[in-house]
A and B are shown apart, each in its own frame.
Chain A
Amino acid sequence: MKANPPKTALKFLRWFCREDYLEEIEGDLIELYEDYYQWSPRKASWKFTWSVIRYFRPTFIKPFNRYPSNNIAMFRHNFLLSFRSFKRYRNAFFINLIGLSSALACVLLIYLWVNDELHVDKFHEKDHRLFQVMEHLQYDEVIRTTKETSGPMAEAIMEEMPEVAYAAAVAPPHWPGFDGFILSVGEKNVEATGQYVGKDYFNIFSYDLIHGSADQVLTHKNAIVISEALAIKLFNTTEGIMGKEIVFQHEQPFLVSGVFKSVPINSSTQFDFVMSFELYKDIKFWVDDWGSLGPHVYVVLKAGTDVSLFNEKFAGLIKRRFPESIRSPFLKRYSDNYLFSAYENGVLVGGRIEYVRLFSIVAGFILLIACVNFMSLSTAQASRRSKEIGIKKVVGSRRKDLILQYLSESVLMAFFSMIMAFMLVALFLPQFSEIVEKQLSLTYDHALLFSALVITLFTGLAAGSYPAFYLSGLKPVSTLKGKLNAGSNAGWIRKGLVVFQFTISVILMVSVWVVYRQITFVQEQNIGYNKDNIIFFDVEGNIMDNMETFLTEVRRLPGVVNASGTGHRMIGHNWSVSGIQWEGRAPDDMTRFEVAAVNYDLIETLGIEIKEGRSFSKEFSAESAKIIFNEASIKAMQLQEPIGRIVNFMGEKEIIGIVKDFHFESLHEKVKPFCFILAPGSENKIMVKIEAGREKEALDGLRDFYESYNAGFAFDYQFLDESYQAFYAAEQRVATLSKYFAGIAILISCLGLFGLATFTAERRLKEISIRKILGAGESGIVRLLSRDFTGMVLVAIAIATPLSYFIATTWLENFAYRIDLKWWYFIGVASLTLLIAWLTVGLQTLKAARISPTECLKNE
C-alpha cells in the first residue's frame, strides 16, 4: 500500500509545531491516515488536513520569538541613539544630509519630469483605440518612416476597413504659418494657432466641448471651433457666442460652431482653434491628392480590434490603388508617438524615451553616489562605535537587533534628507521647469507621496545595508579589547566605493564636456550660407497680392541689405518630390529632392554661393523654366557637365546653375539633394537680410512699413539663426541638465572624500604628532595623507576614461557631422577631477599637519 499524506499540510505542521511534539503527532496522524486510506483515500487526505489545522493552537505552536522583548521601547532606544550619534558626529551628519538631500532632490525632479513625459497624450478617453496612420516608404536602400500621409487616406480607410469607427485627416498646427493666424471680432485682432481637421476630430480626441456636439461642430465649411481661452480673448466670455462671426486673416468670415476646453498642457498638439479640413482641400488642392505626403490621419478603431491583424490588411491599401507605390501605411498608438518616434530603416529605435531613460539612469547614479558616501562614512566610523556594539553584544543583543538599529538610523537619515529634498525641489522647480520646457508642479498626490516613501525607504536601506551588516558582524571580544581586525577588509571596500564614485563623476564630466563641444561645433559650423542677421516672416494679407511692390519697398528701407520671398523656410524638411526626370535616370530611381519655390534674389539674400552657372535673374526671359540644383543633387543624378541640361519637373526646365551644398537640416543628417525653382507669387515666407550693426533701425523701419502696408496683421518675425538652433533644442537641454547633474555628482563625491579625509586625519593625529616631533615637515605630512586619496582618484580616472570614450563615441554617432574626440578632453577632465579632489582633501590634511603635537599627545 502506498499512501502519501498531503504534502502541504505536513509542511505546514512541521513549520509551526513544537519540535518535541512533532514526531509523536506526525506519527499518530500518519497512522490514522493510513487507516482511513483503506476506506477512502480522499476522505483520509481531507481528515489529515483538517486535523493538522486543528493542531494549530497555542499548545502545539513553537515559540517563534525566543527573546520576547519590548519592541516599542527598543525602537525608541534606537532613535535616541541615532539622534545622539547625529549630534556627536556632526560633520558626518551634515555631509550625509547635504549629499543625500541634493541627490534625492535630483531624483525627485527627474521623477516629476519623467512622470510628466510618460503621461503626455495619455488623457484621451479612447487612448487605447486611438491610432495615427504612419507610412513606411520603401526606397532602394532604406525605409523611411513618416507621420505624413495623404488627405484621401481618411476616406479610403473608412471605406475599406470596417474595423474603423472614426477617421479624420488633419492639417496639423505645426505647419508653416499655422501658428500665426489672425482672428478678428470687430476691431479686435488676436493671433492664434489653428489647424484644419476632419469632421470627426472631436469624436477621436478628447478635447472636451463646452458648447456644440462632437458630431455637429465641423459639418459646415464656414465653421470654426475655438478654445475657451481664445473665446475669452475675442469675446470676453464663453457664453452666448455660438453662431457669432469671426473674421479669419482679415478675409473670410467664419461662424463659431463650438467651444472646447483649452488643450491640456500634457498634450503634444497645442492649438487654439480648428476649422474644417474640407475647406482646406478647396484652398490647397494638393492635400486631397494621393501623390503628395503631408496631412496627418488619425483613427479610432472599434473596440476589440486586433491592431496587428488590422495592419496586415492595411499595409496594402495604397498599393491596391497604385501598384507601383513604395508606400505601406500602418497604425501606431497615438500616445506612443510622443516618446517612441524615431525609426531607422522601418524599425522603431526610440525617440524621446531615450532621454527619459538617460535621465532616470543619471538620477539613479547620483543617488548611488550619495548612498556610497553614507556607507563609507559609517564604516569609517565603525571604530568609534565598535565599543557600543561590543557592549551591546555582551549584554545580549542579537545581530538582528543591531542590523535593525543601523538600518533604522539610515532610514531616519534618508527621511530627514527627503524632507530637505522636498524643500530644495520647491525652491528649484521653476528653474528646472524652464530648462525642460514644461510646467511641472509639486502636487502632493498619492502617487508622488508613495513614490517619495518608496525612494526614501530604498535609499535608507541601500545606504544602511553595508554598514549595518558590517558593524553588526564585529566580534565583541576584539572590539572591547580595542582591536579592530575587520578594518583591513572594510578599508578595501571603502576604497572601492570612493573609486566608484569618482568613476561616475568623471564619466559625467567627460560627457558634459563632449556634449558642450559638439553643440558649440554645430552652432558655429559654417552651414553654407550666412544665417546671421536674416529675419523671416509669413506672407499674409496684402503682401500676398502685391508681393513685388512689397519686396521692392522693403529693399529700399534703411539697414535692409536684401529681401526676397520663398516657399521653403530653408530650415528642415518642407516639401520634397521624387518625380524629377533627367537624362540617364535609372527607371527605379527614387531620389527625393527638397524643392524651394523662390523669388528673384533669394539666393543672393541668403548668400548661398554659386559654384557654377548663374542664379535667377530678371535680365533673362522665361526664368520659370529654369532650375538650380545643389552639389548633392548633381552627385545623386550623376550628371556630367550639368549646366544647360534639361530636366523634367512640372514641365521641362533647364539647369542654369549649381550652388554649393548648404545645410538645411540639422547636422544629424547629411546634406540632401535640393533645388530652387522660380515661382513668384507662391511664396509663404519673406526673408530679409539686415545690415550688421543697424538691426534696431532696420527692424523699426520694417515694422512701421509692415503695419502701414498690412494693417491688422502683426509683424511677427523670427531670426533664421535662432530658428536653426531649435534643431538642437533637445541636445541643448541635455547639455544644460547634464551640466547641473555632473556638478551635483562631483559635489557629492567630494563631500564624501572630505568626510573620509577628516576622519583619517583625526584617526592619525597621534601618528602625525609623533612624526612631527621626529622632524617631519608640514608638506611631508600633507603628502603622506593625500597619497591614498590620490591613488583612489587615479584608479577612478583610469577606469572612467575608456568608458567615457566609448559613451561619447556612441553619442556622437548620432551626428553626420561631428567633432573629433581629442586626447586632451580626457586629460583635462582628469586633471580637473584630481585638482578638485586635492583641494578637498588638502584643506583637511593641512589642518591636521598644523596641529601642535603637545596638544595631542599630552593625554597619554
Chain B
Amino acid sequence: MKHSLGEFEELVLLIVGAWRDRAYGVLILKTLEEKVEKKVNISAVHVILKRLENKGFVKSRFGSPASNRGGRRKKFYVITAFGKKLLDHQYALRDNIYRQIPEISFG
C-alpha cells in the first residue's frame, strides 16, 4: 500500500473511527486532549481532517443546526472502508513486526 499516515494523522483517523459517525471537530479535539494528553489547536485538527478527507480516508456530512454553535451545523466525519483498510493494514504490519521482538527479560 503506497499510502502511509503520520502519527498525528493516524491518531485522528483512529478517533474518527472510534466515535463511529459522531466525530466532529470539537469532539476530536477534546478526545485528543483527554486520552492522549496532547495540547493542540482546533485548526490543526481541521487541517488533518481535510487532508484525510482529500485522501479518501474519511467522509463527512452536515448535521442539524445546534444552538451552542451560534446556529451552525456540525460536520460529522465517518471513516471510509478505504480508511479502515489502511488502518488494518498498518496495524497488521506493526503487529507482525512487533511479534518478532524476542521475549527477552530486561531484568
Contacts and interface: CB of A to CB of B under 8 A. Distances in A.
Contact of B72 (A23, A51, A55): A23
A767 B45 CA distance: 74
B54 to A, nearest CB: 10
Interface of B: 24-26, 29, 41-44, 46-47, 50-51, 62, 66, 68-70, 72-75
Nearest to B71: A27
A27 B43 contact: no
23 contacts: A21-B46, A23-B62, A23-B75, A24-B72, A24-B74, A25-B46, A26-B69, A27-B25, A27-B66, A27-B75, A28-B25, A29-B42, A31-B26, A31-B68, A31-B69, A32-B26, A34-B68, A51-B43, A54-B43, A54-B44, A55-B43, A57-B43, A59-B46
A646 interface: no
A60 B26 CA distance: 18
B73 A57 contact: no
Contact of B50 (A21, A31, A32): A21
Chain A interface, DSSP helix/strand/loop, else mixed: helix
A317 B47 CA distance: 79
Contacts, number: 64
Contacts of B24: 24, 28
A27 B72 CA distance: 5
Best-buried of A23, A31, A55, A57 by chain B (most CB within 10 Å): A31
Contacts of B41: 50-51, 54
> Which of the four size classes fits the interface of chain A?
20 to 34
Contacts of A26: 69-70, 72
A315 to B, nearest CB: 66
Contacts of A59: 46-47, 50-51
Interface in A48-63: 50-51, 54-55, 57, 59-60
Nearest to A52: B43
Interface of A: 21, 23-32, 34-35, 50-51, 54-55, 57, 59-60
B16 to A, nearest CB: 14
A23 B26 contact: no
B42 A28 contact: yes
Contacts of A24: 24-25, 46, 72-75
Given A32-B26, A32-B42, A27 B73 contact: yes
Contacts of A23: 62, 72-73, 75
Given A34-B68, A59-B47, A28 B26 contact: yes
Contacts of A32: 26, 29, 42
A51 B42 contact: yes
Given A21-B50, A28-B46, 4 more contacts: A24-B72, A27-B74, A50-B41, A51-B43
A25 B73 CA distance: 10
Contacts of A57: 43, 47
A21 B73 CA distance: 11
B70 A30 contact: yes
Instruction: State the 5 A-B residue pairs at the shortest beta-carbon distance, nearest first.
Output: A27-B72, A28-B25, A54-B43, A27-B69, A24-B75
Contacts of B29: 28, 32
Contacts of A27: 25, 66, 69-70, 72-75
